[in-house]
Amino acid sequence: MPGTVITVTSGKGGVGKTTTTTNVAVALALAGKRVVVVDADIGLRNLDLVMGLESRVIYDLVDVVEGRCELQQALVRDNRVESLHLLAAAQTRDKSDVGIQQMVSVCKALSQTADYVIIDSPAGIEHGFQSAIAPSDRVLIVTTADVSALRDADKVIYLLERDWKHQPGLVVNRYNAQLSRDGELRDIDDILDILSIDLLGVVPEHKSIVLATDRGQPIALNRRHYVSQAYHNMAQRVMGNNVPLMDFREPGFFNALARLFGR
Ligand SMILES: Nc1ncnc2c1ncn2[C@@H]1O[C@H](COP(=O)(O)OP(=O)(O)O)[C@@H](O)[C@H]1O
Ligand SMILES: [Mg+2]
C-alpha cells in the first residue's frame, strides 16, 4: 500500500509550518516509519536549514521535475535518523517552475516507498499552495492564537473544504498556557470554536525551539526535552493512536509552586 501524503499549511507565514513539518517528520521516523519531507517553498527554501541538512543538498525538486537527476538521487538521507529523507526546494527558481501535476507525480512516486511524505508548503493561497495541496491525502493547518493567524487559517480551511474536500487537522503552535489561563489570549477551546476542525496537537511557545531550529538540530531529536513530547504525541496521532494532550506546565512548575508556598 502506498504511504500517506500529508501537507502542512497555514495561510499566514511565520506561524510554524516548517518547524512542525520537521519535528513531526523526525518523530515519525524515530517511531520507525519511512518518511520523506518535501520542501514546496520554492525560491525560499529553508527546510534543509531547519533540518540541518543544507550542506548535503546536491539536487532539488526542480532538478527532479526538469529531468536533471533521478528522484532517488535527489533525496538527502538524515544521518541522525536513518529512515528520514529530505527533498529540497530550489533556492533560485520561481514557484511556478513546478507544475501541479509534476508535484502530484513526484509525491506519488515517493509514497511508493515511504510511509509518510510530508510537504512543507509556502505561505499564501497561490500556485505554491495549490501544488502543495494537490498531492495530499491529509492536510494539517498550523496556527497561532493571534487574530490574524486565525483569520488566515479560517480562510484556508474554507478553501480546503470547498475546493479540495479536505477536512484538515489543526496544530496550535506557540501556545502560551500562562496567557490563556490569565484570560489574556484565547485558549484551545476558543480556537477550536472559531475554526471548528479536529485538533491534532498543541505545541507550547518555547525558546528551545528557536535555538534548535537555528542549530539545525530539530527538538524532536531530544526526547528528554518536554516540548519534544508535543511532536511525538502528534506523530502518534498521525499514526492513528490515541494520545492525551500533554501537560503544558514545564517540569519544575510544581517545585516552584511548593517553594512559593514554603513547602
Ligand atoms: N512553538 C514555538 N515556540 C517558539 N518559537 C517557535 C515555535 N514554533 C516556531 N517557532 C519559531 O518561529 C519562527 C517561524 O517558524 P517557521 O516554522 O519557519 O514558520 P513558517 O514555516 O510557517 O514560516 C522560527 O524562528 C521558529 O523557530
Ligand atoms: Mg516555512
Q: Are 238 and 230 in contact (CB under 8 A)?
A: no
pLDDT value of residue 253: 55
Domain boundaries, the chain: 4-260
Q: Give the mean pLDDT of the chain.
A: 92
**CA-CA distance, 27 to 216, in Å (whole number)?**
15
- Taking the CA of 40 as reference, the closest ligand is 2
What is residue 185's predicted lDDT score, i.e. its pLDDT? 87
Count of other CB atoms within 10 angstroms of residue 252: 9
User: Ligand 1 pocket test: which of 41, 202, 213 has the largest number of ligand atoms within 8 Å of its C-beta?
Assistant: 213
Residues 176 and 204: beta-carbon distance below 8 Å: yes
Sign of CA dihedral 227, 166, 62, 70: positive
3-state secondary structure of 124: coil
Nearest CA to ligand 1 atom 3: 205
Closest CA to 7 of 98, 187, 135, 102: 135
Type of residue found at 67: G
- Cα 97 → chain centroid: 23
Residues near ligand 2 ion, CB 5 Å cutoff: 17-18
CA 173 vs CA 10, 88, 109, 163, 230: distances in Å: 11, 24, 31, 26, 10
Residues 6+ apart with CB under 8 A from 59: 68, 69, 73, 74, 88
Beta bridge partners of 84: 35
Q: Is 205 near ligand 1, meaning CB less than 6 Å away?
A: yes
Q: Is 58 in the pocket of ligand 1 (CB under 6 A)?
A: no
Q: How far is the CA of 204 from the centre of ligand 2 (A)?
A: 18
214 within ligand 1 shell (Cβ under 6 A): no
For 211-221, the pLDDT digits (tens) are 999 999 999 99
Kindly give the number of the ligand 1 atom that is closest to the alpha carbon of 142: 22
> Reduced to 3 states, what is the DSSP secondary structure of residue 159?
helix
Ligand 1 mean position, distance from CA 69 (Å)? 32
Closest residue to atom 15 of ligand 1, CA basis: 16
Q: What angle do CA 52, 233, 185 make, to 5 degrees?
A: 90
Q: Which tens digit of pLDDT belongs to each residue from 178-191?
A: 888 888 889 999 99
Closest CA to 148 of 111, 186, 115, 180: 186
Which numeric CATH code is attached to 4-260? 3.40.50.300
Q: Is the CB of 51 under 6 A from ligand 1?
A: no
Cα dihedral across residues 175, 181, 187, 188: positive or negative: positive
Best residue among 21, 209, 228 to mutate for probing ligand 1's pocket (most ligand atoms within 8 Å of CB) is 209
Nearest to 18 by CA among 151, 227, 209: 209
Please name which ligand lies nearest the alpha carbon of 50: 1
Whether 240 shows a pLDDT value over 70: the answer reads yes
Predicted confidence (pLDDT) per residue in 121-172, tens digit: 998 888 889 999 999 999 999 999 999 999 999 999 999 999 999 999 999 9
Q: Ligand 1 centre from 2 Cα, in Å?
A: 31
Q: Cell match 526538469: residue?
A: 66
Ligand closest to Cα of 207 equals: 1
Tell whether the model's pLDDT for residue 257 goes beyond 60: no
Which cell numbers in the block locate residue 260? 512559593
Cell of residue 78, nine digits? 538524515
In this structure, the chain runs to a length of 263
Q: What is the pLDDT of residues 4-57, one digit of tens each?
A: 999 999 989 999 999 999 999 999 999 999 999 999 988 888 999 999 999 999
